[in-house]
Amino acid sequence: MNSTVKEILEWIYCIIIALALAMIFRYFIGTPTIVKQISMYPTLVQDQRLWLNRWGRTTKTLPKRGEIITFEEPEKITYSSSEIDLNNPIAEYSKRGAFKWFINNFLEIGKKSYIKRVIALPGEHVQIKDGKVYINDTELEENYLQDGIVTDVTGTGFNDFIVPENSIFAMGDNRNHSTDCRSFGCIPLEKIESTVAIRIWPLDKWGKVE
């Protein structure tokens, strides 16, 4: 093997190692992302850049109430009245083989994720009524919402239930323009990808997101 071929192979080897390390870091530690929708307005605005912390997924730790998270899009987004089971309000996800899981979750090819705020935790009784959210019969203070925002369940949805074990209930801050757990149910821990750590762009908005 001549020196030129050997050098090319060494470079290819280094590139492969670097890509593998980058993917491992992105999956287990953290990654940047861009806000693409308006469902978290005014807290998050389209085209803002965020840094996502994925250590919670690695350690299998549930996020706290009020934290902004990302999670994998459920298989089923809307339900008819006959399909909703308020006794088991869990979002529906299909099972994947190892290869499809790797492509979808590790390489993130063709994957769609949602970004929402954690509203309720396991064992809590959630009620959405009179335009407000109640947790265990107590109205939830939501200072992050714009004045005049009303929380409703449009059409068929999840509005009175207990959050199952190892799951969370999440909604967007822009309630009238957010497809969230009101439509498809609570998100199991294994489908939560990350929490929003900081906003990194624009620079005048840099810092912790609350």
* pLDDT category of residue 100 using cuts at 50, 70 and 90: confident
Calculate mean pLDDT across residues 129-143.
Answer: 95
Calculate mean pLDDT across residues 74-93.
Answer: 92
Is pLDDT of 198 > 70?
yes
pLDDT of residue 98: 82
pLDDT of residue 28: 92
Integer Cα distance of 179 and 120 in angstroms: 17
pLDDT of residue 106: 77
Tell me the domains of the chain and their CATH numbers: 33-208 (2.10.109.10)
Is pLDDT of 178 > 90?
yes
Alpha-helical segments (H) within the chain: 3-28, 55-59, 98-101, 181-184
Summarised one tens digit per residue, pLDDT across range 8-25 is: 888 988 999 998 898 899
Write b or e for each residue in 77-102: b if 16 or more Cβ atoms lie within 10 A of its Cβ, otherwise e. eebeeeebeeeebbbebeeeeeeeee
pTM: 0.91
Lowest-confidence segment of 1-5, 20-24, 185-189, 193-197 by average pLDDT:
1-5
Is pLDDT of 174 > 80?
yes
Torsion of CA 45, 108, 29, 38, to 10 degrees: 10
Summarised one tens digit per residue, pLDDT across range 33-63 is: 999 999 999 999 999 999 999 999 999 999 9
- 133-138 contacts, C-beta under 8 A, 24 or more apart: 133/171
Torsion of CA 121, 123, 124, 126, to 10 degrees: 100
pLDDT of residue 193: 95
* pLDDT category of residue 1 using cuts at 50, 70 and 90: low
Calculate mean pLDDT across residues 155-168.
Answer: 93
* pLDDT category of residue 103 using cuts at 50, 70 and 90: confident
pLDDT of residue 108: 80
Q: Is 193 helix (H, G, I), strand (E, B) or coil?
A: strand
User: How many Cα atoms sit within 13 Å of 144 on the Cβ side?
Assistant: 22
Higher-pLDDT residue of 17 and 105 is 17
pLDDT of residue 4: 80
pLDDT of residue 191: 95
Are 97 and 141 contacting, i.e. CB atoms less than 8 angstroms apart? no
For tokens 């209930």, what's the residue? 169
